[in-house]
Amino acid sequence: MPAACRSSGRVTLLGQPTGGGSCVVQPCTTAAGTVFQISGNRQISIIKNGSFYNTDAGIEPDSRLEKPESYYDRPALVEYLHNLK
């Protein structure tokens, strides 16, 4: 999701870098009906300066929030965003 948001160019990402991983998860089932998931053969990538890069290293936020408790403080987040611009 963060890679898609970054690619849109319309979202400001706040928080910590994501954990990474670029393989798409492929849902599968056995003949008996057991459902499981494996890494698929497609990768998520971002475009930077006209080139494709996979997201194995994760996505760096536009602005880091160092304290996890600040993630849910809406008034503080609004003030923080206003001060970024």
pLDDT surpasses 80 at 66: yes
Residues 20-62: pLDDT tens digits? 777 788 899 999 999 999 988 877 777 778 888 777 778 888 8
Tokens representing 5? Answer: 């948001």
Bridge partner residues of 39 (DSSP): 25
Amino acid letter at 47?
A: I
Kindly state the DSSP code that residue 15 receives in the 8-state scheme: E
The pLDDT value recorded for residue 52 is 81
Threshold 0.85, pTM exceeds: no
The pLDDT value recorded for residue 85 is 65
54-80 burial, b if ≥16 CB within 10 A, otherwise e?
ebeeebebeeebeeeeeeeeeeeeeee
Among residues 43, 44, 25, the alpha carbon closest in space to that of 35 is found at 25
**Which residues constitute the domain of residue 38?**
2-84
The number of domains in the chain is: 1
